[in-house]
């Protein structure tokens, strides 16, 4: 998508994920201590809200998240700068875990790991900044406009949350996307002048989620 090269901040984030994830692969006690777990967080271990985003289940999980981050991070860095990139990254990570905590607040055994919420937030920031960007998926031979992908991804996440599809934290992905959406608009309010229509379209899945939850149809 871009030829900007990889920035120092992206290298640091990817390196942190790799180092901490590998530590978790080799040290089960470390993994259990810092993963997202509802019961532990409710007992006061809030560090898990952050640390869980740097742990992964295996090499393929880590690679997929870091590969996706690699493609979109530097576009956001180039547009908003390193500091705002970090705000979006960590804000999306926390927002994703907050949504997971909210939806699973009574499931004290519920656990999760991975940078997916943060990565999804960066992806959505990139889509907001350039809604017409072309995205390619390996099973679809034609480019997909970024805003179409964004809407479709969130709708699929709602479906996944409702039907508990796979061993995937769909709520964390959705929360991360909302975090990226909201924080990017706060940091870059001129988007309301240039991309207002796309902003409205990308808000549709968020509204649908809210309505489904309020009407009890998400459970």
Q: Is residue 128 part of a domain?
A: yes
Beta strand segments in 103-198, E: 111-112, 134-137, 140-145
Lowest mean pLDDT among 6-20, 113-127, 136-150: 136-150
Per-residue pLDDT reduced to its tens digit, 28-44: 999 999 999 999 999 99
Q: Is residue 3 part of a domain?
A: no
Q: Is residue 76 part of a domain?
A: yes
Q: Is residue 176 part of a domain?
A: yes
CB atoms near residue 92 (< 10 Å) = 33
Q: Is residue 165 part of a domain?
A: yes
Q: How far is CA 127 from CA 11, 90, 211, in A?
A: 21, 18, 24
Q: Is residue 219 part of a domain?
A: no
Q: Is residue 33 part of a domain?
A: yes
Overall domain count for the chain: 1
pLDDT given for residue 3 in this prediction: 42
> In this structure, what CATH number is given to the domain that contains residue 178?
1.20.1540.10
Per-residue pLDDT reduced to its tens digit, 142-188: 788 888 888 888 888 888 777 765 556 778 888 999 999 999 999 99
Query: pTM to 2 decimals?
Result: 0.89
Q: Is residue 103 part of a domain?
A: yes
Give residue 41's domain range. 8-214
């Amino acid at each position: 998508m871009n030829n900007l090269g990889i920035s120092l901040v992206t290298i640091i984030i990817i390196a942190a994920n790799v180092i901490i994830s590998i530590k978790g692969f080799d040290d089960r006690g470390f993994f259990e201590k810092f993963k997202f777990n509802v019961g532990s967080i409710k007992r006061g271990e809030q560090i898990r809200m952050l640390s869980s985003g740097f742990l992964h289940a295996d090499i393929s999980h880590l690679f997929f998240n870091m590969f996706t981050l690699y493609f979109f991070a530097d576009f956001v860095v180039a547009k908003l700068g390193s500091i705002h990139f970090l705000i979006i990254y960590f804000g999306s990570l926390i927002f994703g875990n907050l949504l997971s905590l909210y939806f699973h607040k009574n499931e004290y055994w519920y656990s999760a790991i991975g940078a997916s919420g943060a990565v999804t937030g960066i992806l959505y920031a990139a889509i907001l900044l350039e809604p017409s960007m072309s995205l390619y998926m390996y099973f679809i031979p034609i480019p997909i406009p970024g805003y179409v992908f964004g809407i479709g991804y969130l709708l699929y996440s709602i479906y996944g949350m409702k039907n508990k599809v796979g061993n995937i934290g769909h709520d964390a992905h959705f929360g991360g996307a909302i975090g990226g959406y909201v924080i990017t608009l706060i940091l870059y309010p001129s988007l309301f002048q240039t991309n207002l229509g796309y902003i409205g379209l990308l808000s549709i899945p968020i509204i649908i989620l809210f309505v489904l939850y309020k009407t009890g149809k998400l459970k």
